[in-house]
Copies of this chain bind each other. A is one copy, B any other.
C-alpha cells in the first residue's frame, strides 16, 4: 500500500467531518458540479457550431477584444490560467489552423505576439455569436437579468485573481 503523502494517520474520530461540515460540502459539491456541467454545455454548443476547442476559443475571443487583435504570449497564458508551456501549444494549434500568426515584438525581442489572421477574425466572430446565444438561452433567460448580475457580482467578490480589489 503506497501512501500518497508519506504521513502516518492516527486512529479515532478526530479526522471525520461533522454533520455541519457534511452539509456544507454537499452544497458546495452541487454548486461546483452544476457550474461545470453548465459551462461544458455552453462550450459544447460552440464546438458544435464552429469546431473550436475551449482553450482555442478563449484565446480567439481575448484577441478579438484587443485593440490591435494581438497580444504577447505571456498575456495569453495569464488569461487562460495556463503555464506558458501549455500556451505555446495552444498557439501552435491555432497557427496550424491558420487562425493566428506569430509576430516578434519591436521593443523587446524576448516577446512574441499572437495576432489574429483575417480568417481567425471571422471564426472568432462566429464563435462569439454562438457563445452569446448559448449564454442567453441557457443562463440569462432562465435566470433573469437581475439574478445573473448578482451571480456575477458574487463570483467577482470571491475571485482570488491577483491585483483586483476585494469588492468595493
Contact = CB atoms under 8 A, between A and B. Distances in A.
A24 B143 contact: no
Given A31-B151, A51-B4, A150-B150, A158 B138 contact: yes
B37 A81 contact: yes
Interface in A120-168: 122-123, 125-126, 128-129, 131-132, 135-136, 138-140, 142-143, 147-148, 150-152, 154-161, 166-167
Contact of A61 (B24, B29, B41, B156): B29
Interface extent on A, as a size class?
Answer: 35 or more
A36 interface: yes
Contacts of A129: 15-17, 21
- The residue among A15, A33, A161, A166 with the most chain B CB atoms within 10 A of its own CB is A15
Contacts of A142: 157-158, 166-167
Chain A facing B: main interface SS: helix
A165 B2 CA distance: 43
B37 A159 contact: yes
- Specify how many copies of this chain sit in the oligomer: 2
A126 B37 contact: no
A25 B131 contact: yes
A150 B153 CA distance: 12
A9 B81 contact: no
Interface of A: 1-5, 9, 15-17, 21-22, 24-41, 50-52, 58, 61, 65, 79, 81, 96-98, 119, 122-123, 125-126, 128-129, 131-132, 135-136, 138-140, 142-143, 147-148, 150-152, 154-161, 166-167
Given A5-B50, A31-B156, 20 more contacts: A1-B98, A1-B119, A9-B123, A15-B122, A16-B129, A21-B128, A22-B65, A24-B135, A24-B136, A24-B140, A25-B131, A25-B135, A28-B139, A31-B151, A34-B156, A34-B158, A37-B81, A37-B159, A40-B81, A138-B158
